[in-house]
Amino acid sequence: MLGVSADGTRGCPGPTVTVKPKFLGLGHKARVIYHGRVADDEIGRENAALRGLVAIYRHLSTLATQDSGIDAVAELIAERMDATVAVVDEKMSVLAAASAAGGAEEAVRERVVHPQLAQVLTVTGRTRRAARIPDIDEGASMIVVAPILVGNDVHAYLLTLHDGAAETGDGLHLLVTEHAATICGVILGRERVVAAAAARAREDLIEGLLSGKGSGADEVLRWARHLGYDENREHRVVSLVVDDGRDGFGGRVPAAIERFFGMHAPDAISTVRDQEVVVVLPDNARRAERLAGSCLDRVRELFPHALVTVGVGGRCAPPEEIARSYDDARRTVEVARRMGRAGAVVAFDELGIHRLLLQVADPAQLREFAREVFGELYKHPRAAVAEYLTTLGCYFRANNSPQRASRALHVHPNTVTYRVRRVAQITSLDFTNYRDRLMAQVALEILDAVREV
């Protein structure tokens, strides 16, 4: 009988030791045969396994070049390897799952809770190498875990669960899982690049709308429609500004604000601009103020030391009006800060005469004007000054009616008349004179804005 040498050639007759390499994926396994040779059917099985491996690799590479997702990778491996396949993140959440037998997600969820599997994920994430776990569960003889790398970071893990897998196929399963994890990394990396490019394009469109840099109404309309803007609805631009030097949370306050509007106003268009969040919000000013107020409450819960001021711009419907509404919102934030109302929600529509007061560069000049108007009144005790000015403001808002003012103040009409007369006597103002009355009303508006009334 002819022997077979280590390289597979026929040798001299006689008792020879035959070492036949057998493909296992990770290396070779020596097999010793006395007075015999490797059966042709065993060689055929190995060749078939190699051809199958090459075919799987080719199909996986094709998925990487096509517009396929990780679901397609999981389905391919599940079908070809007769296994349950899943992609999970570091929190063991299932991102994709497939199984030839069906019920993939349920099967995966039952097995990923095993503490040993969590330890393996940690090890594979640290070593960047695949690993297998035998007999982790009574229904499975092997689980292969491979980290999915996107750049230098482990983004997720690919699991292949083989029920009743033959021992001779361990290496093959490991190789296929490792290569499939590489393909998943390529797909996820591609999706990340595409998502980043889409986000950048979206930011550019929003910046164009806010700045009003479009070359015409048609171009601006196209930009707005790409962002989901409905020109048939009323909109308000909301500017939420984190005060300089007050964040201290590494930009987490603007991110939290954007998340809030993403959850409570999914129809809104939002963007983060350094320490400002801009939201183009469908609907009227009341909804904008209500959502902004709820957002400030949430920010105070999460970041007690953060100070956020909100300006709600004027109405806009055609998209070319977005830039004007945004300018309104920013100027409203500025007047709120200058008038001592930082940390509040202020609507542009409610500013009234304060829109004109915005043109005065120094708020101190406004205070000085108000004090000059009321002059000698400020020589009286502070409590008396506040009482006189509050009554005078209510009297003007009631169209000079002591009766209506008294009902608002819960005092007798004679009390209103007396206080108004005393202000006129102390300041030498004649409230029957148009010019004197106008100066007094403007001075009261200034003092109300700076919260000194």
The pLDDT of residue 394 is 93
Q: How confident is the model at residue 18 (pLDDT cuts 50, 70, 90)?
A: very low
Q: How far is CA 403 from CA 395, 409, 413, 422, in A?
A: 9, 10, 5, 18
Measured in whole angstroms, how far is the alpha carbon of residue 160 from the centre of its chain? 32
Listed residue (176, 183, 179, 184) closest to 24, CA to CA: 176
Enter the tokens of residue 345. 């929600």
Listed residue (17, 95, 18, 23) closest to 52, CA to CA: 23
Identify the DSSP state of 304.
T
Is residue 236 located within the same domain as residue 340?
yes
426: number of Cβ within 10 Å: 18
Is residue 12 located within the same domain as residue 96?
no
Q: Is residue 25 part of a domain?
A: yes
| Rounded distance between C-alpha atoms, residue 249 and residue 32, angstroms | 67
276: number of Cβ within 10 Å: 18
- The CA-based angle 143-146-147, given to 5 degrees, is 145
Q: Is residue 16 part of a domain?
A: yes
Is residue 97 located within the same domain as residue 179?
yes
Is residue 184 located within the same domain as residue 83?
yes
Q: How far is CA 195 from CA 89, 95, 96, in A?
A: 19, 17, 19
Radius of gyration of the chain (CA): 38
Residue that is last in its domain, among 162, 192, 222: 192
Residue that is last in its domain, among 310, 330, 357: 357
Residue 201 confidence (pLDDT) above 60: yes
Listed residue (318, 314, 316, 317) closest to 346, CA to CA: 314
Query: Token match 């007798």: residue?
Result: 412
**Global pTM value:** 0.54
Is residue 344 located within the same domain as residue 368?
no
CATH number of the domain that 379 lies in? 1.10.10.2840
Residue 415 confidence (pLDDT) above 60: yes
| Rounded distance between C-alpha atoms, residue 76 and residue 82, angstroms | 10
Is residue 81 located within the same domain as residue 144?
yes
**Residue 263, exposed/middle/buried by CB under 10 A (0-12, 13-18, 19+)?**
exposed
The pLDDT of residue 286 is 87
Is residue 318 located within the same domain as residue 420?
no
SS3 267: coil
Please state the length of the chain: 453
Cβ-contact 255, 272 below 8 angstroms: yes
Q: Is residue 212 part of a domain?
A: no
| Rounded distance between C-alpha atoms, residue 358 and residue 371, angstroms | 19
Is residue 30 located within the same domain as residue 77?
no
Q: Which helix (H) or strand (E) holds 198?
A: helix 170-211
The parent domain of residue 24 ranges over 2-38
Please indicate whether residue 13 or residue 255 has the higher confidence score (pLDDT).
255
Identify the DSSP state of 58.
H
Task: Give the model confidence (pLDDT) of 103-131 as tens digits.
Answer: 777 777 776 666 677 777 888 888 888 88
Is residue 105 located within the same domain as residue 78?
yes
DSSP class per residue in 138-162: TTEEEEEEEEEEETTEEEEEEEEEE
Task: Give the model confidence (pLDDT) of 295-347 as tens digits.
Answer: 999 999 999 888 999 999 999 989 999 999 999 999 889 888 877 788 999 99
Enter the tokens of residue 168. 């001779």
Q: Is residue 74 part of a domain?
A: yes
CATH number of the domain that 108 lies in? 3.30.450.40
Q: Is residue 332 part of a domain?
A: yes
Computed from CA positions of residues 280, 282, 283, 288, in that sequence, does the dihedral angle turn out positive or negative?
negative
Is residue 348 located within the same domain as residue 376?
no
- Cβ neighbours for 60, distance < 8 A, ≥ 6 positions apart: 73, 76, 179, 180, 183
Is residue 339 located within the same domain as residue 374?
no
Is residue 297 located within the same domain as residue 353?
yes
Task: Give the model confidence (pLDDT) of 366-383 as tens digits.
Answer: 788 888 899 889 888 988
- Cβ neighbours for 149, distance < 8 A, ≥ 6 positions apart: 128, 155, 181, 182, 185
Into how many domains does the chain fold? 4
Q: How confident is the model at residue 449 (pLDDT cuts 50, 70, 90)?
A: low
Residue that is last in its domain, among 192, 215, 238: 192
Cβ-contact 235, 280 below 8 angstroms: yes
Q: Is residue 175 part of a domain?
A: yes
Task: Give the model confidence (pLDDT) of 39-83 as tens digits.
Answer: 566 676 667 767 777 888 888 888 878 778 899 999 998 888 888
Q: How confident is the model at residue 413 (pLDDT cuts 50, 70, 90)?
A: very high
DSSP class per residue in 343-401: TSEEEGGG-TTHHHHTT-S-HHHHHHHHHHHHGGGGGS-HHHHHHHHHHHHHHHHTTS-
Q: Is residue 87 part of a domain?
A: yes
**Residue 59, exposed/middle/buried by CB under 10 A (0-12, 13-18, 19+)?**
middle
The pLDDT of residue 351 is 80
Q: What is the mean pLDDT of the chain?
A: 80
- Cβ neighbours for 193, distance < 8 A, ≥ 6 positions apart: none
Q: Is residue 21 part of a domain?
A: yes
Q: In what order do the strands lie in the sheet with 308-316?
A: 269-273, 276-282, 235-242, 308-316, 345-347
